[in-house]
Structure 1
Amino acid sequence: MSNKRILIVEDEESLLKLESILLTSKGYEVKGVASGQAALDSLAEDVPDLVLLDIMLPEIDGFEVCRRIKAAEATKNLPVIMLTAKKSREDMARGEKVGADWYITKPFKSAMVIETIQRFVGK
């Protein structure tokens, strides 16, 4: 069985490393990018099984990245989990509006992130 592939979009290098190590240790294949544009470029080349998406990103924010993922035929069914420090009701509603499948706020518990990912793509 091949490993499930996850694209992590996170501009904070320490968090990107932490999330990558966490997911790799659970058997996922991980690719990390640090901007919204890099995420869209990566998705144009190769569609993973799930996207873990920060909102506050350089160039294009996570809301717009998610909206574009859900608007494109090739990626419209791709699960997108928002992982962000933005925790207001308005932000969560906006995440839902652009099509995010789930919304996790920072600081997060590693177990919650893993459980949520497993809910969408399995182990």
Structure 2
Amino acid sequence: MSKKKILIVEDEESLLKLESILLTSKGYEVKGVPNGQAALDALGEDLPDLVLLDIMLPEIDGFEVCRRIKANSLTRHIPVIMLTAKKSREDMARGETVGADWYITKPFKSAMVIETIQRFLAK
């Protein structure tokens, strides 16, 4: 069985490394990118099984990245988990509006992130 591929979109380098190490250690194939445009480019090259997406990104924010993923017939089936410091009800509602499948706020517990990813990839 091939490894499940996860695209991590996170502009904070230390967090991107932490998330990459965590998911790689759990047997996932991970690609990390630092901004929204790089995420959209990566999706054009190789479709992941899941996207772990920060919201506060340079240039194109996570809401717009998610909206574009869900608007594209080639990528709309990919689960998008928002992983962000934005905790307001308005932000969570906006995440739902643009099609996010799940919303996790920072600081997060690694076990919860892994559990959520496993739940979506088991479908």
- Give the TM-score range, shorter chain: over 0.9
Kindly report which structure 2 residues correspond to 1:92-103, keeping only aligned pairs within 5 A, or say none: 92-103=92-103
1:60-117 CA-partner distances (Å, limit 9, x unpaired): 0000000000000100111000000000000000000000000000000000000000
Count of residue pairs brought into register by the alignment: 122
Question: What is the Cα-based RMSD across aligned positions, in Å?
Answer: 0.4
Gaps of 5+ in 2: none
Report runs of 4+ in structure 1 exceeding 4 Å deviation: none
Q: CA deviation at 1:40?
A: 0.2
User: How far apart, CA to CA, are the structure 1 residues paired with 2:63 and 2:12?
Assistant: 17
User: How far apart, CA to CA, are the structure 1 residues paired with 2:67 and 2:13?
Assistant: 24
Map of 1:13 onto structure 2: 13
Q: CA deviation at 1:26?
A: 0.3
Kindly report which structure 2 residues correspond to 1:74-113, keeping only aligned pairs within 5 A, or say none: 74-113=74-113
Secondary structure in 1 matching 2:94: helix
TM-score using structure 2 length: 0.98
Percent identity over the alignment is: 87
Map of 1:27 onto structure 2: 27
Gaps of 5+ in 1: none
Secondary structure in 1 matching 2:30: strand
Kindly report which structure 2 residues correspond to 1:53-68, keeping only aligned pairs within 5 A, or say none: 53-68=53-68
Q: CA deviation at 1:29?
A: 0.3
Q: CA deviation at 1:51?
A: 0.1
* 1:2 paired to 2:14: no
Q: CA deviation at 1:56?
A: 0.2
User: How far apart, CA to CA, are the structure 2 residues paired with 1:114 and 1:22?
Assistant: 8
TM-score using structure 1 length: 0.98
**Which letter maps to 1:97?**
T
